[in-house]
Structure 1
């Protein structure tokens, strides 16, 4: 029978194999990570399951969804939500961060990095870690509940210079701890990643994009561009690498924003029409500063030192801790709890 114009014609053999189909399935690519038993396995470094997390060094955290009572949602991000929860076995109120798992190598690396930092970082300037578990394609981190939330929520009540000094001290101590203990650069220092509790304690959080320093350099371009140092934005930055000095720049920008209640770019005072305007200003424009009429010379000098354009000209963490802006207020009785209580009440109203 002769094939007509609408007949299917001779049947052709498909030009792909079963192996091609298996390789195209994203679950197969990550089958060594997410297994059929419902565990998330990070090459022996950590295993997440519905009953908690087991770390390769032998440390275990046994927490599970059934142990918690949900209280309220306290935050929402790109990949999930953060809730205030009550852990019945310990009678502790915690913050539970939910991450919707995507089969993406970058996200898996971020999960592992955050787990590694949180469970090893026993430091008063790093948020406490209570455990983690994995169910129904979601990773859950259980962390210290910081009543006032992130630093940006405190902008509306203002930030007296002594309080700003204590905030700077806590951030420097936390960043120095990450560098000294784990050779880690945070890479996403900004007010939303700094938490405050009702006692006025200030702690760093969110270590998913933190990077291991290789010969004192990091190379990937991750983090929030608004707070990136000039050397991280410039063309070829990932080839040349950058150091912890880039976190010091981000510290300086965060302190200006905390002091003034607003992000300092663009310096013209005009609304930015695109991220390009801000990035160009960061690279080519002068560094922002606080008003010397409102802040002491020590405060102005500390922030100016953090925001020197050349990373080699910025002070080290050890040098920052010896700066008069920090040492002066460490010797004074600063009412951090009163400031935090005022902020908490403002948030609740």
Structure 2
């Protein structure tokens, strides 16, 4: 009887906490509306190139949209497109906006658009998808980004023969681990740059937001729920927990005191660990009928582990790396700060893969296997 009462109390507290998450996230969005229109006027309609210091002015008429290649929240779609002045193939994220003053349109607020664009602009790095710019017309934002060919969730579906592909086992576990080494180095380097240099917390690391391209690069994308880290006591912490996909959230994001002490970049380390576990095993570690069940599993259950077997093809280095990402207590979890003793950069799995000279060729070989199946995986995205 007593353990059952404890579980009921834990579920009640988590349920209350999730309502606080919803309220606090809405408060953050409302507060962020201040002076947003002037920021849109300043930044909208400027197209930047990586190696050119001066931006070009552009508008929607300069964008020729083609087929859908992705979809996000807020009725977003992502389309392969042509930036016609340069005949440059790009990705355009189309976001329907909401004017909270008039209550029109069911979409993303102006403040979130500006935040996503500004944080992506601050975060320029080899392992972060390049943002060319954005333009807002008729309550719709067109966000122009570097084109990437696939995300690692699509790689997972091909590697583990999911989504009705019926292609058999295309990847051995050794091959999967080799690819995961490329992903690990890129995401750790990207997140470390965001924390130390750009002062940005991504807050939504998951397989859908890790991209690969035909140049063999792995990059982080989607700064829609990212947050600037400011000076003072909040320099490495965020207090608003209603960000990101719940199945990749860290245990501390459901703690009773998160609204006062916040959570830090180690929440992204947890998300990376869950993503690597999912890519290795083919399934997400936390499945449930609703968000409350999932939140309870994360907050009160044991952290997931990659199954240990002498014949599964996964190395102890990979398992130990994922374990280091998935300590429930963030004090014991590995960090992104390369100068700290317990950092991901000092783990053998990272060190062995960062020294490899075949990472780009590995990613390109994986993309070659995935590309024929992308039309099937994306068939329900619309035109």
Higher RCO, Cα 8 Å, sep 6+: 2
The range that moved more, 307-316 or 152-161, is: 152-161
Alpha-carbon offset, residue 273 of structure 1: 2.1
Instruction: Check whether the contact 1:199–1:340 (CA below 8 A) recurs between aligned residues.
Output: no
Distance in 2 between residues matched to 1:182 and 1:112, nearest whole Å = 16
Where does residue 318 of structure 2 map in the other structure? 299
Question: Cα offset for 1:348?
Answer: 3.6
Q: Do the aligned partners of residues 61 and 230 (structure 1) sit closer, same or farther apart at CA in structure 2, a change above 3 Å counting?
A: farther
Q: Deviations over 1:231-282 (max 9, x none)?
A: 001223222211111110011001111112211124xxxxx22221211111
Report deviation, 1:178: 0.6
- Residue ranges of structure 1 left out of the alignment (5+ in a row): 1-28, 34-39, 267-271
**What SS does structure 1 have at the residue aligned with 2:304?**
coil
Give distance in 2, aligned partners of 1:202 and 1:152: 13
Among residues 296, 300, 307, which one is paired with 1:280 in the alignment? 296
| Structure-2 change in CA distance of 1:249 and 1:30 (3 Å) | closer
Matches within 5 A, 1:95-244: 95-104=91-100, 107-148=109-150, 150-158=151-159, 160-213=176-229, 214-221=234-241, 222-244=243-265
Q: C-alpha displacement at 1:322, in angstroms?
A: 2.3
Choose the corresponding residue for 1:337, options 343, 364, 383. Answer: 364
Q: CA deviation at 1:191?
A: 1.0
Give 1:263's match in structure 2, choosing from 257, 278, 284.
284
Q: Does the 8 A contact of 1:46 with 1:53 survive in 2?
A: no
Question: What is the match of residue 61 of structure 2?
Answer: 66
Compute the displacement of 1:223 (Å): 1.7
Larger radius of gyration: 1
TM-score by length of 1: 0.80
Question: CA shift at 1:59, angstroms?
Answer: 6.4
C-alpha displacement at 1:204, in angstroms?
Answer: 0.6
Residue 31 and residue 203 in structure 1: after superposition, are their counterparts in 2 closer, same or farther (change >3 A)?
closer
| 1:166–1:326 CA contact under 8 A, matched in 2 | no
- Higher percent of residues as helix: 2
**Partner SS for 1:292:** coil
| TM-score, normalised with respect to structure 2 | 0.74
Task: Provide the rounded CA distance (Å) in 1 between the counterparts of 2:352 and 2:35.
Answer: 53
In 2, Cα distance between equivalents of 1:233 and 1:260:
25
Cα 1:193/1:46, change in 2 over 3 Å = farther
Sort the Cα spacing of 1:296 and 1:52 in 2 relative to 1 into closer, same or farther, 3 A. Answer: same
Provide the C-alpha distance between the structure 2 equivalents of 1:32 and 1:173, rounded to a whole number of angstroms.
Answer: 33
1:77-123 Cα offsets, whole Å, 9 max, x none, are: 33222111011221211000111111249833321221112223221
- The 3 A distance-change label for structure 1 pair 336 and 32 is closer
In structure 2, relative to structure 1, the CA distance for the partners of 1:99 and 1:274 (3 Å cut) is: same
Q: Which runs of 5+ in 2 are unaligned?
A: 1-31, 102-107, 160-174, 377-383
Question: Once the two structures are superposed, what CA deviation does each residue of 1:26-54 show, in whole Å capped at 9, x if it has no partner?
Answer: xxx97964xxxxxx422xx86244x4379
- 1:63, 1:131 within 8 Å by CA — same for their partners in 2? no
User: Greater CA deviation, 117-126 or 167-176?
Assistant: 117-126
Matched, 1:41 2:38: yes
Partner of 1:326: 350
Corresponding residue number in structure 1 for 2:6: none
Query: Residue by residue, what CA displacement relative to the aligned partner does 1:260-307 show, whole Å, maximum 9, x if unpaired?
Result: 2211124xxxxx222212111111111001122221111100000000
Structure 1 counterpart SS, 2:327: coil
What SS does the aligned partner of 2:91 have? strand
